[in-house]
Amino acid sequence: MGNPIKIQSEIGKLKTVVLRRPGLEIENLTPDYLGELLFEEIPYLHKIQEEHDYFADALRQQGTEVLYVDELLAEALTTDVMKEEFLTAILKQSNFLYGYTLDKVKEYLIEFPTRDMINKIMSGVRKDELINITMQKSLLPLAMHRPFYVSPMPNLYFTRDPSACIGDGIVFSKMKESARRRESLFMKFIVDYHEKFKTANVPVWVDGLTYPFSIEGGDILVLSKEVVAIGISQRTSVAAIEHISKNLFANQSEIKKVLAVDIPKSRAFMHLDTVFTMLDRDKFSIHPRILDRHGEIDSYTIEAADSDSRLRITHNKDILMALKSVLRLTTIELIPCGGGDAIAAPREQWSDGTNTLALAPGVVMTYDRNYVTNKLLRQRGVEVIEIPSSELSRGRGGPRCMSMPIFREDVS
C-alpha cells in the first residue's frame, strides 16, 4: 500500500479528509470554564451536529472521502496493550490527575469498549460519575474544586490544529494552550497503529508531543510542491518554524522554501488561516487588517543555506511580491475579507470569512453567514459552496479549521 498522505498544495482536488463530529464535549461546556476551554459561547449540540453533518455531506458530494478521528482511532487500538497505552498517554496530559485518583479514573475508563472509551475521553469524565472516588477523605478538596476528573475537549471538531500534513509527512502539533495539548495524541496513535498508516513509514516533521516550542496546524499552508507558508502567530513560535524548516530541508527534496508570515498576535487572528487562505493558483483571501497603514506585512523567505544545516532568511515587507517570488507567478490577486469595508471586514473575519477550505482550484467551501465576502469571491471567479454556520461558528473556526486533509490530487 502506498503512502496514504499526500498534501502538495492547498488547492488540489480534495480526496480524503479527517473530521470530528461535535459530541457530548459540547454539552460539558459551562460559563465557568469557557475561558479555560477557549470558547466564548456554548453551542447548541443538536444544531451544531446538524450543521456539521451538512458540512460532511457537502464534502462527500464533491467526491471527498470523509474519515472521522474517533472511528480511525477505535480501528487502530486493536489490542488491550494499545488501548491502555493510549489511555495512559491521555491521562498523563490531564495535568492534575495523580496517585489514587489517577488509578481509579484509569480503572473506570479501561472497562469501556474502545470506541466508547475514546468518546468518553473526548467528552470528559465528571466527578459525579465516580462517587466512590469523591467520597475518599483525602480527595475531598479536589472533589469540591472542579466538576471534572478529565476535562472535556470541545475544540476537537477543529481537526486542522492538532496535526497537519505536508507532502507525504505529518506534523503532530505542540499546542500552545494546555486545554488542547491532548488533541495531538489522537492522530499520533492513528498514524502509529492504524492499518492505513502504520506500514507507510510516514515522516514526522515535528513531534509536538516531545518538542518544547508551540506550532499548530492552522498556521501551516502548503502553497505548492516547493513552498510552505507558516504563520508567526499567537499559537506558533519562531523557534518551531526554524525547527520544521531544517527538518524539511534535510529530510525531503521537494520543498525548497518556507514563507514565514508575521501576523498580529491576538485571539481574533489566532492562526494564519484565520486571516489568509489560498483559493486558486493565483488567488488568496486576506483580512486587510493584518496589513499596516502602508499595506505591508513582515514575512521571511527561509531556504537552506549550506550543508551545515544553516538557514538563509530574506526579509520581505510586500506580501504580494513575496508570494509572486516564491510561487514564480507574475500576477496574484488578494481578495479582501468583507470587501475591505471598515465594518463588514472585521465582522466577517470574526466569523471566519477568510477561513476558506479549497476543494479544487477555484472551488472553496465557506460559511453562509459571510455573505459580503462570498459575493466578492464569486465576482472574482471563485466557485463558493456555502454551509450553515449559526452554531459551528461559535467555536471561532471555519471550514478550513474543521478539516484535516490527508490526500489531495496534484495541481496540473
For residue range 395-405, list pLDDT tens digits in order. Answer: 989 999 999 99
337 is catalytic: no
pLDDT band at 100 (very low <50, low <70, confident <90, very high): confident
Q: If you average pLDDT over residues 328-337, what whole number do you get?
A: 96
Question: Does residue 158 contact residue 48 with C-beta atoms inside 8 Å?
Answer: no
The predicted pLDDT at position 226 comes to 97
pLDDT-derived band of residue 60, with 50, 70 and 90 as boundaries?
very high
Q: What is the mean pLDDT of residues 233-248?
A: 96
Model confidence pLDDT, tens digit, residues 34-50: 888 889 899 999 999 99
Task: Give the pLDDT of residue 160.
Answer: 96
Q: Which residues, including other chains, have CB under 8 Å from residue 48's CB and lie 6 or more apart?
A: 22, 26, 391, 392, 394
Reported as a pLDDT band with limits 50, 70 and 90, residue 93 is: confident
pLDDT by residue (tens digit) across 312-326?
A: 999 999 999 999 999
Q: How far apart are CA 155 and CA 404, in angstroms?
A: 14
Helix (H) or strand (E) holding 55: helix 45-61
Q: 284: which strand partners?
A: 278, 334
Neighbours of 151 (CB within 10 A): 21
Given the residues 90, 223, 286, 401, the one annotated as active site? 401
- Whether residue 139 is predicted with pLDDT greater than 60 in this model: the reply is no
pLDDT digits (tens, 9 = 90+) for 252-266: 999 999 999 999 988
* Residue 135, pLDDT score: 46
Residue 143 has pLDDT above 50, yes or no: no
- Read off the C-alpha cell for 92: 498523563
Question: Among 105-109, 125-129, 278-282, 348-352, whose mean pLDDT is lowest?
Answer: 125-129
Work out the average pLDDT over 284-296.
92
255 neighbors 306 (Cβ within 8 angstroms): no
pLDDT (average), residues 110-118 = 96
Residue 132 — very low, low, confident or very high, per pLDDT cuts 50/70/90? low
Mean pLDDT along residues 275-297: 94
| pTM exceeds 0.75 | yes
175 backbone dihedrals φ, ψ, rounded to 5°: -70, 135
